[in-house]
A = this chain, B = another copy of it.
């Protein structure tokens, strides 16, 4: 298959062609310079989709919920794209949970696009590729773009916060370690889901959550508040998914009504800007590995300078903003 320049893929992406989308997604994930103008062009065209972040601790049943949510959105004639962030296998290099599991529920429907992206170990490529992927699927015309992450690390939380509406999934009967991690992500929820509500101990989880959530979130410049609702779902009994969609839609309507959407978009833009700055920084460091960086590293290993002092000197030396 001949190599198609990334810019030449853009028209196909904007027409919603699955093959062009898939190819540009791969290039966004690889983060090559060649794809940069194409991704910038895509960014300019995106902004129509409702971006929904779905996060939850391991074992909360979030992948199952995402599949049910997508199926339900399809019954409403809405198209759906899913970007799932999976832990990668150090042995195969690929995502473990993968498209295959999810596609078995949704396969063959052209109104659904599923993409698994593997975390990248220490390479730090997670957030960039993910946000570019959301832009591509948004520009391709999908009505709802779902970002699914395991909500347990900084990068994952940042990705979830890149959404207009963030859903945090809890489940009954998880261990103490898991419960503690969960507490750290509850604050980012616009909508709460308690999954596995066919279980006898689910009511306890719902009650605890409601007790913690006595405070509302102030919206826009006015006095209107949003109280994150708690939605009970059961994949086993196929319950709660329609209520979840209503809650997500109600949240979007509240954002638009109060003007809060502008605040959200400014926050998302700021986080993306910072991320892009970090990517450039990493890139520059990489390019100066043999030059300015090498000597500084020697000094640092010998503890003749500190990381902070060394970083200040290096940033000066390599003209970080330029093309040097």
**Contact call A277/B311, Cβ cutoff below 8 A:** yes
Q: Are A122 and B157 in contact (CB under 8 A)?
A: yes
A245 lies within 8 A of chain B by Cβ: no
A89 to B180, CA, bound (A): 8
Beta-carbon contacts of A136-156 to B below 8 Å, as 1s and 0s?
000000000000001011111
Residues of chain B lying within 8 A (CB to CB) of residue A45 = 303
Within 8 A of B (CB), among A289-307: 293, 296-297, 300-301, 303-304, 306-307
A87 at the interface (CB under 8 A from B): yes
Query: Is the beta-carbon distance between B285 and A184 smaller than 8 angstroms?
Result: no
Which of these, B281, B307, B317, contacts A281 with CB under 8 Å?
B281
In the complex, are the beta carbons of B39 and A306 less than 8 A apart? yes
Distance in angstroms from A230 CB to nearest chain B CB is 16
Residues in B neighbouring A124, C-beta threshold 8 A? 154
Question: Given contacts A184-B89, A301-B262, A312-B321, are A177 and B40 in contact (CB under 8 A)?
Answer: no
A208 part of interface (Cβ distance < 8 Å) = no
> Are B303 and A184 closer than 8 Å at their CB atoms?
no
Say if the beta carbon of A239 comes within 8 Å of chain B: no
Residue A207, interface by CB 8 Å: no
Interface size (A, Cβ < 8 Å)?
Answer: 85
Which residues of chain B have C-beta atoms less than 8 A from A322's C-beta?
316
Which residues on the B side are within 8 Å of A89 (C-beta)? 183-184
> At the interface with chain B, which of A5-13, A90-98, A218-226, A251-259?
A90-98
In the complex, the chain B residue whose C-beta lies closest to that of A182 is B87
A156 to B150, CA, bound (A): 14
Q: How far is the CB of A119 from chain B (nearest CB, A)?
A: 6
How does the 8 Å CB contact mask read for A110-150 relative to B, with 1 for contact and 0 for none? Answer: 00000000010110101000010000000000000000001
Question: Chain B's nearest CB lies how many Å from the CB of A79?
Answer: 21
Q: Which of the residues B40, B175, B285 comes within 8 Å of A59, measured between beta carbons?
A: B175
Chain B hits for A317, CB < 8 A: 321
Considering the chains assembled together, what is the distance between the CA atoms of A276 and B119 in angstroms? 23
Shortest distance from the beta carbon of A158 to any chain B beta carbon, whole Å: 6
Chain B residue numbers with a CB within 8 Å of A122 are: 154, 157-158, 161, 271
In the complex, whether A243 has a CB less than 8 A from a CB of chain B is no
Q: A272-B300, A300-B273 are in contact. Are A126 and B154 (CB under 8 A)?
A: yes
Q: What CA separation (Å) do A275 and B306 show in the bound complex?
A: 12
A230 to B11, CA, bound (A): 53
Closest to A262 in B: B301
Q: Give A265 to B184 CA distance when docked, in angstroms.
A: 32
18 A-B pairs within 8 Å (CB atoms) are namely A39-B308, A40-B309, A43-B307, A44-B303, A44-B306, A46-B303, A47-B303, A122-B157, A154-B155, A270-B297, A272-B307, A273-B297, A273-B311, A274-B281, A274-B285, A277-B285, A277-B315, A280-B311
18 further A-B contacts with Cβ under 8 Å, apart from A270-B293, A280-B315, are A44-B303, A59-B175, A90-B186, A90-B187, A96-B183, A121-B157, A121-B184, A121-B187, A122-B271, A126-B154, A150-B152, A153-B154, A155-B155, A266-B301, A269-B300, A269-B301, A273-B314, A277-B315
